[in-house]
Amino acid sequence: MTQAPLKIRNRDARRLWLDAQGLAATPTGPLDLAATIHKLGFVQLDSIRVVARAHDHILWSRNQNYREPMLVKLLKDQRAVFEHFTHDASVIPIEFYPNWRRQFRRLEEKVQRWEWHRGMHGPEGRAEIRERIRAEGPLSSNDFDTKVIGKREMWRRPPHKLSLDYMWYAGELSTSHRDGFTKFYDLTERVIPHTHLKAKEPPEPKQVDWLCREAIRRLAFGSEGDIQRFW
């Protein structure tokens, strides 16, 4: 028997949503940036810039003591967040990492079906990239020089970029840091703190349950589809 959805007034919905999104309180006072991102669940990184980049607007609007270098330090120096894919590249609280392993596997499978990723390096090409990073340290796409093969189209990428992306989606490589908006890739074992990297992975049903519960906490209310799409 299907249960009728619970209905709430628009006024109550607005209040719940603003509170869940960290927009109900006055955006001043002591700043705990890691706690702000934890409350939101993730912050999507965006190259769009008018006054500042979109992710900096998101964080500043929650607390106006936020300044742009703080997120860089949180990722690069403190390792309090890691970068991976939600709706796009996003910073995610590091304590979520053990429950994110299912997402690595899902995205690896998904990338293999993406038309614009089918021309990527094979295992040998990816192994060569990993060994360069192991020997030289974090590298960006600019440190490689393979070229787009065939017709140049908007979403076509050179083979090395496709391989870097593939290993990043799969969790083999992680974002070490960004210089401006340029992403530097490193071996995951050199980026993710040992405590989180070696934490026992929860069984898949528990990971799915965790993803759903954490989504609704941050949505405040929503349909099954809203919960499914949150991450």
| Residues 6 or more apart in contact with residue 227 via CB below 8 angstroms | 212, 215, 216, 219
Q: How would residue 119 be classed by pLDDT, with cut points 50, 70 and 90?
A: low
Taking only the tens place, the pLDDT of each residue in 157-212 is 778 888 899 999 999 999 999 998 899 999 999 999 999 999 999 999 999 999 99
DSSP string, 190-219: GTS-HHHHSSPPPPHHHHHHHHHHHHHHHH
Q: Which range, 44-58, 118-132, 149-163, 181-195, is most confident?
A: 181-195
Taking only the tens place, the pLDDT of each residue in 25-49 is 999 999 999 999 999 999 999 887 8
Check whether 214 has a pLDDT greater than 90.
yes
**By C-alpha distance, which of 186, 194, 176, 195 is closest to 72?**
176
**By C-alpha distance, which of 5, 74, 90 is closest to 33?**
74
Q: How would residue 114 be classed by pLDDT, with cut points 50, 70 and 90?
A: low
Q: What is the dihedral of CA 58, 61, 66, 67, to 10 degrees?
A: 60
Please provide the size of the chain in residues. Answer: 231
pTM of the entire structure?
0.90
User: By the 8 A CB rule, do 174 and 185 touch?
Assistant: yes
Give the count of beta carbons closer than 10 Å to the beta carbon of residue 225. 8
What is the per-residue pLDDT for 162?
87
Cα separation of 10 and 157, whole Å?
A: 45
Question: Which residue's entry shows tokens 């109900």?
Answer: 24
